[in-house]
Amino acid sequence: MPTNRDWENLIHEISQNTANVIFTKHANEKMAEREITKSMVLATLRKGQIVRPPKHQPNGDVKCRIEYDCGGEEIKVIAALKSITDTRTVIITTFAKEEDEE
């Protein structure tokens, strides 16, 4: 069974190529609303940590919450992957430290 660190390493690797990161409409809307840039999201994916166990979804996806301090603002990204061997990740939403996950 993959560990948090395994998922974290996979997200770090996948996000090195921005073509492998897919932003949902919801994620783009929330980023604009919350003034979170794609650069901040990519930095979070590339350098962040998963601090909670990933959650398996009924559709088979695994949702991970990865967090990173981007210049004094703690950014949280919810990303979905199909498996530990996936080559792409989908950004579901983003938020800052003060906000609750949606």
Model confidence pLDDT, tens digit, residues 29-46: 999 999 999 999 999 999
CATH of domain 4-96: 3.30.2310.40
Average pLDDT over residues 82-101: 86
Q: Where are the domains of the chain?
A: 4-96
Average pLDDT over residues 92-102: 75
Whether 100 has a pLDDT exceeding 80, the answer reads: no
| H helix or E strand, kind and range, residue 50 | strand 49-50
pTM (predicted TM-score): 0.92
Q: How far apart are CA 87 and CA 30, in angstroms?
A: 24
pLDDT of residue 98: 65
By the 8 A CB rule, do 24 and 80 touch? Answer: no
Concatenate the DSSP letters of all residues of 2-35 into one string: --HHHHHHHHHHHTTSGGGEEE-HHHHHHHHHHT
